[in-house]
Amino acid sequence: DAGVIQSPRHEVTEMGQEVTLRCKPISGHNSLFWYRQTMMRGLELLIYFNNNVPIDDSGMPEDRFSAKMPNASFSTLKIQPSEPRDSAVYFCASSRLAALDEQFFGPGTRLTVL
């Protein structure tokens, strides 16, 4: 199995631009998570999908952030417009059943907003 796949691995953009991060979960996994990691706040859950349905989006910072999961094998996290404080590493993870299960993390996308 290829594991969780994320793209791009690195993204540098200018303030105000739209950013789209992509994730392909492990085949057969029913839950998908988007996390953000910063030095100040550590790992934070942004949003969690189960069977393609958003279950908990309370961690999404504000309306500039949106996430979709159109099918079981693909999810996007979009930031529009981006701001320098959005600079972080964004991880996607998936688990076989639910949030309680072991989670498998992707390699992350390092986002820098100038």
The residues binding another protein (CB under 8 A) are 42-45, 48, 55-56, 58-59, 89, 91, 93, 99-105, 107-108, 110
Query: Least distance in Å: CB of 85 to another protein?
Result: 20
Nearer to another protein, 12 or 55 (CB): 55
Q: Are 29 and 94 in contact (CB under 8 A)?
A: yes
Cβ-Cβ contacts under 8 Å for 50 (sequence gap 6 or more): 30, 31, 98, 99
Per DSSP, 96 falls in state S
Structure tokens at 51: 């069977």
Residue 37 backbone dihedrals phi, psi, to 5 degrees: -125, 125
Query: Least distance in Å: CB of 70 to another protein?
Result: 22
Nearer to another protein, 81 or 107 (CB): 107
Which amino acid belongs to residue 24? K
Structure tokens at 26: 């492990």
Nearer to another protein, 25 or 108 (CB): 108
Nearer to another protein, 79 or 92 (CB): 92
Query: Least distance in Å: CB of 94 to another protein?
Result: 11
